[in-house]
Amino acid sequence: MAVNYQLQDTFLSAFYTTRFAEDFYLTGGTALARYYFHHRESVDLDLFTQHQTLDFAQVNQEIILLSKHLGLTLDKQVVTGTFLQYIYKEGLKVDLVKDIPVHFGAIKIEGGVRIDSLENIGSNKVLAIFGRTEAKDFIDLYFLLQETEYTLDHLYTLATKKDVGLTEFYLAYAMDKVGEATNDPVMLRPYDREKAILFYKEVSKKLFLKIKPQ
């Protein structure tokens, strides 16, 4: 799916005039790419909330009305009590997620859009690498670690507060698989893939040695 930034902006501008504007914030790769690092293309709009009592059936109704107002045509849709997904024929994908009630850092507002903190996105990227092997997650975390003062140790500690199943052993194993993640997104800034692979391999090695010293 090609990235349509104008459509992303149009949708976000409209969404943040609805009654649910204060409940959701933009997070994930698109938040990083559009509002922080401008390093790669990102298709998905990931809108998260920590409000556990929020009625997603009502949120769905609002999104359907919004879609019609914007003249968007749904291609696929998923509706559950904690997850909503809308894939539009015009080239837009939107996920709304009821996340666990654990959040780090302060939400910032830019152009009316509520944007997640780097700390929280970083902790989620650590969890994403733990749970799957996708190049975009390795790339996003790499840029975050290279261009901010946040350390992997700090983001790992935050991530363990969200998922008690995350351990240094499993993270080391997941990071060692970085070379298998070959589906790189379109990059907008220079990115040395081999250098990043060496970085993650070294991190993995250090974690394994920390767990079981030679």
Q: What is the pLDDT of residues 97-106, one digit of tens each?
A: 999 999 999 9
| Helix or strand (DSSP H, E) at 28 | helix 28-35
Please tell me whether residue 185 adopts helix, strand or coil conformation. Answer: coil
How far from 83 is each of 2, 70, 191, CA to CA, in Å? 23, 22, 33
Q: Mean pLDDT, to the nearest integer, of 114-125?
A: 99
| Distance in angstroms (rounded) separating the CA atoms of residues 54 and 152 | 33
3-state secondary structure of 112: coil
Contact, 181 vs 134, CB < 8 A?
Answer: yes
- Number of residues that make up the chain: 214
Instruction: Please say if the pLDDT value at position 43 is more than 60.
Output: yes
In what side-by-side order are the strands of the sheet with 92-98?
Answer: 74-79, 83-88, 92-98, 44-49, 25-27, 113-115, 108-110
Give the C-alpha separation, 62 to 67, whole Å.
9
**What CATH architecture applies to the domain 5-115?**
2-Layer Sandwich (3.30)
pLDDT tens digit sequence for 152-178: 999 999 999 999 999 999 999 999 999
Supply the pLDDT for residue 214: 57
Residue 64 reports pLDDT greater than 60? yes
Using DSSP, state whether 92 is helix, strand or coil.
Answer: strand
Range(s) of the chain covered by CATH 3.30.460.10: 5-115
